[in-house]
Chain A
Amino acid sequence: ETNKLYCTSVKCCIFELKAELNSDKKEKKKEAVKKVIASMTVGKDVSALFPDVVNCMQTDNLELKKLVYLYLMNYAKSQPDMAIMAVNTFVKDCEDPNPLIRALAVRTMGCIRVDKITEYLCEPLRKCLKDEDPYVRKTAAVCVAKLHDINAQLVEDQGFLDTLKDLISDSNPMVVANAVAALSEISESHPNCNLLDLNPQSINKLLTALNECTEWGQIFILDCLANYTPRDDRESQSICERVTPRLSHANSAVVLSAVKVLMKFMEMLPKDLDYYGTLLKKLAPPLVTLLSAEPELQYVALRNINLIVQKRPEILKHEMKVFFVKYNDPIYVKLEKLDIMIRLASQANIAQVLAELKEYATEVDVDFVRKAVRAIGRCAIKVEQSAERCVSTLLDLIQTKVNYVVQEAIVVIKDIFRKYPNKYESVIATLCENLDSLDEPEARAAMIWIVGEYAERIDNADELLESFLEGFHDESTQVTTQQNTQVLHKHTQNTPDSDNPDLRDRGYIYWRLLSTDPVAAKEVVLAEKPLISEETDLIEPTLLEELICHIGSLASVYHKPPNAFVEGSRGVQHKRLPARTASGESAESPDAGQSVGGVSDAPPAVIPSQGDLLGDLLNLDLAPPSASVPVVPASMQMGVDLLGGGLDSLVGLHRPSGSQYLSGDIGGSPIAVGLAGGTGGMPAGLGGTPAMGGGLGDLFDLGGGVGMATGSYVPPKAVWLPAMKAKGLEISGTFARRGGGIHMDLSLTNNAMSIMTDFAIQFNRNSFGLAPAGPLQVLTPLAQNQTIDVSLPLNTNGPIMKMEPLNNLQVAVKNNIDVFYFSCQYPISLLFVEDGKMDRQVFLATWKDIPSENETQYQIKDFHLNSDAASTKLQGSNVFTVAKRTVDAQDLLYQSIKLTNGIWALAELRIQSITPNYMLALKCRAPEVSQYICQCYELLLRN
């Protein structure tokens, strides 16, 4: 029974199989190999049979050969010496007249991840890359990627990358597609070298191949096209025209990749162009079609549609109905659809949407129901005309008395009250009826807010708040802060004796405020609340732009940029949508070119040839190149914009010292509390949008008055390598940033008795990929007691590995005597780039977007320098002041910094004229660097 290969007992197998494998009969051999493979597939260890299986390899039976290859690929790694036995057959097979066998051999060899085998692979691979048969060429193209994964250096040294690039202009579309795929994969681990050199000619070739290759090839080519930045709108349009047919492809991945290309290139088209409108219309149907596919595909499509709808709502504005939830949709599809429904909700379709949402709120799944209830609230806030209907729908839902529905409804009603103050207070009575059933902190907090807010309209408000106070000590912070604020509203004095310091302080502040100046207190606490903003969960524009460039990728599913900072060994470049360039205008767009294509730099300089020895000795990085997934900042939910900028000026008038706390509190929402506690009120000023910020706009009046850059700070030279440790060679050095480049300035001193020659230098992998941009130029031999100063230009294209501390750099220096190792630390300001000045609006949005956990506070003590001088000083080292404002005799500088790897850090520097201490608050998506930036601030300011 040949089909029953599924042997269940291991013991019986090995021995019997060994005998069968060595049988003379071909048929028996084959069956035995099949059984071995069957055991292997289910995870049984049959590696003991290695020599016996490899013996079956030399056969002209293709099936047997394939089976043996399958086995080899699985076990070669564990038996490298045995695997060598197979090499000869491979090399021979690569010369076989049958292209199928040639391809199979080169394909299998690439899968055997044994170093010794890879050496033998080079020659056959080189031949196969130039094979007359396209099937062999396309297989060989993929093999280059495999080899690169095993030994990147080898691939570069052997010139395979160039051959691969040549294959992009191959006559066979499948070969082109595979070459593109291989190059894309390789460039992922080489973010800085521009492997896919896209120019109009190569683009044309790709577009031709696009029409003729398989669906998978089309995906590779489209994803590659998306990295290109057309020179002008004409080129952009012509590419779009050639890509649009892909929208009708049956493979949804092809469709989505085409959508990505179009969404990106559309950005360059003038809006008044007829074609622009045509293109917009063409985008809707394929997106709708994606929603009739299998649920897993729908999910990914919906996550992407969510981005598309935010970027270009016009595309799908008439397609609301396709996002209606079907009862048999999996929950993950339901939740996504709901999100998009809210985004698309408008006055025109709100009635329909509400009817649907009400329906959903009676379903079974708790998560879904909650989200549906929230969605009703969001509709009310988004579409003013519907608010009344929403409120009555919510009231209906409260009547159902389903506990979690009631709680959710109360939370959203609070938001509606905030958006439309004094409009719907008639419903308060109904809400109060449900007071007892509230057991979730958020709902309780919301209810307390409502009671406090409308205290004079509720007869027994005192009693109600009193009842909440009973459980004061048991409540979560969210509820208690809310209680505190609201109890104050009622001017019910509450002696603060809580254990939570934040809470207690806030209580004291209120208390003192009340006891000293009740009028001021009233003014402060009962001040007009800032309005709730319409759409609170929009993705920040810069992030959205980046995500649009990543449509169809994992980044688009998680709505997070594919930042592979430090942790990840593979850097990822930030992508940006291209700026519109008309055909007449100059095609210069260095910025876009760089961000998309990557810097085309010479590969990191290698040690001069005689220094080969060093290459081996310098085995600093033993860790294998582990490909870890990009690490993205954990939580990125946007805090609801509740904090009013207008308030703190009011507060400031009365009570300078308390203003920091108060401005945070007055927002009056639970979310406000979280921010105020951690950040000392600073984002309060920034959080308010200019309109409600009460002239916040003119506080940002820094203009160009920053003054000239004075050059960046260079620390004094320090001895890195004492002569004792290096057979008489002493090295001292420092780092400097000059003219936009990074330099390592070294002094080499010869304290030995003989002359030194043949200097070379190499860095270990480090956190920011610092690497020498050229060889160490020590032209003349270094005589006894002579000192020579060398400046070594550096770049940041080297391999990346997280160091501890982050700014640590391990260096190896070689001369004619020996190799010496030392490590040094560079100030992170070395990496602050010149284009690090962020736009104000972007700054505001980004500041809000970075969660408060990522904020670091730092104090610079005993420092006397006014804000302008500080600003000028910092600017010299590429710390740019975006805005400045003055509140109560303290200057607040808002500053932005960009690191060489594209990470932004935002800072608020508070300079008080009274005390000599500076306060620095720093926000960064990669909080690991914050500490080092803070140190740099101190360093920069003091020097």
Chain B
Amino acid sequence: MSDMEGSPGSSMHGVTGREPTFALSVASPMVPTDTTANFDLPVDSEHKAKVFKLFSFANPHMRTFHLSWISFFTCFVSTFAAAPLVPIIRDNLNLKKQDIGNAGVASVSGSIFSRLVMGAVCDLLGPRYGCAFLIMLSAPTVFCMTFVSDAGGYIAVRFMIGFSLATFVSCQYWMSTMFNSKIIGLVNGTAAGWGNMGGGATQLLMPLIYEIIRRTGATPFTAWRIAFLIPGWLHIIMGILVLTLGQDLPDGNLSSLQKKGNVAKDKFGKVLWYAVTNYRTWIFVLLYGYSMGVELSTDNVVAEYFYDRFDLKLHTAGIIAATFGMANLVARPFGGFASDKAAQLFGMRGRLWVLWTLQTCGGIFCIWLGRANSLPIAVLAMILFSVGAQAACGATFGIIPFISRRSLGIISGLTGAGGNFGSGLTQLIFFSTSRFSTAAGLSWMGVMIVACTLPVTLVHFPQWGGMFLPPSKDVNRSTEEHYYSSEWDEDEKKRGMHSASLKFAENSRSERGKRVASAPTPPNTTPSNV
């Protein structure tokens, strides 16, 4: 299993076609347990855990899980910490609507670049240092909020704090060194979802901290600045915990990994080419921009919206806004679960329909949210919108592993970047101008969600079909093997570099749904070097 360590795609490596999102453990015959190892959890031959025991802090596997998701959670808290305090900040800094909107765009744009760099940093320094470096070097940017005195400074600081969202990459990378590939789907999905919850928790936390500081006698314009010291310290504390309690690999730290030579590395140029020339990549980049992207945008605007539209107190608006982000606890895993269930019955077509349904429903509820005139209806619409959008995020990553085997890492990275890009674009169009009130902006965002989800109807796999069209009738093209080995040229196939793809293809036959049993043996798929 030590092929291609550290190469592009290895962070999502080992995600095969078959694990359901809720695989909590891997049974012994499938993956043999290494009985000589002395860990709290059963491990495989690489000492990666085969079991996901949620409430354990055992070193190193579960401890890594908790350190990792809490670090990611902390970065979400600080990136969106300003959002629930905007009603105070906008008066202190004399902001206009454009300034508030531009700051929201800035807060999600920084991480587009930092996530790309983070992959390389994890390859060089290991995920433990990658995470610690990012989280401790972004602590000063959080503390900078205390100095801000005008719109320009506010936008700049939110941009810099946004870089810390690249902990997503270190989080996923670190998990893949600690958990067996058959359960990595659940582990990574849970970590991502729980990290995203930080965007909700901060809407509760920051107004509470602000209120407490005000009660001690500080004026509002000073109290919000002091409140920012808390997320800053969370960064420092998590960074120190990661450095002292964490380790890169089950057996120790990164230096031992780097001693292993002779691994066949894949060429970055080729991996990028196959990612970029697959049209499905771009459809999912767009789609994720309107599931994850709108989630991030809503994290930025919803507290201020409830405060202004319904004349609520700051902490009441915060509580309502928090329920939006906190729904990630169950909504995102639910999306993955629904996708897997649909795949069992209807194969890939089921997955596509589930994604389209969840995301479109999210869009419709978003339209409703903007138009709701009474508080209870608005809260109901918001909760339904959050479930739709977040479940769609989970369902998206139920499909992404099947787009490509060779370029999985890059496609995941591009999709993630698409999420942030969609968020920035949406905030720029709808929430940075006085042309739309925030309510109208929300409704138009809902319309855009429905429109931008339509391209999923164009996704077609020759071996499995699409939402409406059946699989290809051509006997050669309608096999999983053909699809996955078409990413390798003849020369590479001669060298047997595509053998992992062939294994993946065999495992992915489950995406035919109930038709698996009737799949004929495809001709010309036996690799020539067998």
The answer to whether A binds B is no
